[in-house]
């Protein structure tokens, strides 16, 4: 029997449901976990404030006959407690840039929890959203390195009508910030157009993007990465390279990416 697995932290939206629906199409059974993982939050991040909407999440998932919702407790995942748990350390080469530079603890925490969740679920396929492309690439490499018989399936970014990628943190935005948040997608569209018109110099494409990311956004990072190594490229842009960008709107951090 094929078993799909969609690990989430809850507060489900259309992006999550697209992963669930792909798993439902491709597997006989699907497990969706809902667990807010303390190991991937830094000391000054929003673990306590992270939205927890379990009843609403279960109601959304009840429409799928082949889905089982799993809501483990912390002792189920970390029997010795999160601070005493043995963890996975992600190699520096794949994690030192992009979100790994801004959140140096993050990918160690993600890999640790996903590995532990997969140990218990034992899925055939693991579904990851491409909005968090670096996370997908790192988890894919993790499964390869441990030679686990789990296929990691990348799922396309799901966007609002105005282009903003779905994220649980979008609800932190004020109405005015929500309008400005579309600057990320406009920057992506500008990059796409620039490359389509023949520009392959990454510095020139990045410069074009930056003109769309003005106040009140504060750029965290913007660059173009090799899709496998996740290193910033120092060559012409090739097909499948990734535009990587993140910015703050007030206290809310938004990320996005685009595959050329």
* Closest residue by Cα to residue 215 from 179, 172, 165, 244: 179
Q: What is the pLDDT of residues 155-182, one digit of tens each?
A: 999 999 999 999 999 999 999 999 999 9
Q: Quick count: other Cβ atoms within 10 Å of Cβ 19?
A: 26
What is the C-alpha to C-alpha distance for residues 66 and 61, in angstroms, rounded to an integer?
10
* CATH topology classification for 168-259: 3.30.1300
pLDDT tens digits, one per residue of 53-97: 999 999 999 999 999 999 999 999 999 999 999 999 999 999 999
pLDDT tens for the chain, 260 residues: list them. 999 999 999 999 999 999 999 999 999 999 999 999 999 998 878 888 889 999 999 999 999 999 999 999 999 999 999 999 999 999 999 999 999 999 998 999 999 999 999 999 999 999 999 999 999 999 999 999 999 999 999 999 999 999 999 999 999 999 999 999 999 999 999 999 999 999 999 999 999 999 999 999 999 999 999 999 999 999 999 999 999 999 999 999 999 999 99
Residue 216, preceding peptide bond in cis (omega within 30° of 0): yes
Q: Is 180 noted as a catalytic residue in this protein?
A: no
| Domain 3-155 coded CATH 3.40.50.620 | yes
Q: Compute the distance between CA of residue 127 and CA of residue 185 in angstroms, rounded to an integer.
A: 24
- 44-49 long-range contacts (CB < 8 A, ≥24 apart) are 45/103
Domain definitions of the chain by residue range: 3-155, 168-259
Question: Residues 128, 139: contact at Cβ < 8 Å?
Answer: yes
State pTM to two decimals. 0.95
- Chain-centre distance of CA 100, in angstroms? 12
Write down the catalytic residue from 16, 97, 140, 180: 16
Q: State residue 114's pLDDT score.
A: 98
Which pLDDT does position 45 carry in this prediction? 84
Are 117 and 5 spatial neighbours (Cβ–Cβ below 8 Å)?
Answer: yes
Residue 195 has a pLDDT of 98
CA distance 17 to 14: 5
Q: Where are the alpha helices (DSSP H) in the chain?
A: 14-26, 54-61, 74-77, 92-95, 99-102, 106-121, 133-145, 175-180, 183-196, 202-210
Question: In angstroms, rounded to a whole number, what is the distance separating the alpha carbons of residues 215 and 168?
Answer: 23
Q: Which residue has the tokens 């090799």?
A: 226
- φ/ψ bin of 230: left (φ > 0), alpha (ψ from -120 to 50), beta (otherwise): left
């Amino acid at each position: 029997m094929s078993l799909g697995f969609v690990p989430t932290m809850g507060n489900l939206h259309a992006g999550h449901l697209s992963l669930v629906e792909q798993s439902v199409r491709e597997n006989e059974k699907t497990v969706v976990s809902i667990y807010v993982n303390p190991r991937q939050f830094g000391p000054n991040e929003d673990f306590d404030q992270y939205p927890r909407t379990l009843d609403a999440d279960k109601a959304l998932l009840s429409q799928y006959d082949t889905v089982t919702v799993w809501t483990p407790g912390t002792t189920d995942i970390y029997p010795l407690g999160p601070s005493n748990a043995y963890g996975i350390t992600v190699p520096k080469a794949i994690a030192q840039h992009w979100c790994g530079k801004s959140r140096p603890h993050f990918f160690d925490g993600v890999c640790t929890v996903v590995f532990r969740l997969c140990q218990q679920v034992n899925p055939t396929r693991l579904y990851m959203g491409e909005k968090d492309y670096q996370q997908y690439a790192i988890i894919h490499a993790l499964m390869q390195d441990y030679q686990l018989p789990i296929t990691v399936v990348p799922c396309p970014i799901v966007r609002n009508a105005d282009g903003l990628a779905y994220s649980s943190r979008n609800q932190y935005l004020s109405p005015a910030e929500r309008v400005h948040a579309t600057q990320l997608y406009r920057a992506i569209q500008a990059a796409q157009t620039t490359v389509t018109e023949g520009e392959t110099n990454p510095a020139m494409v990045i410069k074009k993007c930056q003109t769309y990311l003005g106040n009140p956004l504060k750029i965290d990072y913007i660059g173009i990465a090799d899709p496998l190594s996740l290193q910033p490229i120092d060559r012409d842009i090739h097909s499948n390279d990734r535009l990587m960008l993140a910015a703050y709107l007030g206290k809310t951090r938004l990320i996005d990416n685009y595959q050329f």
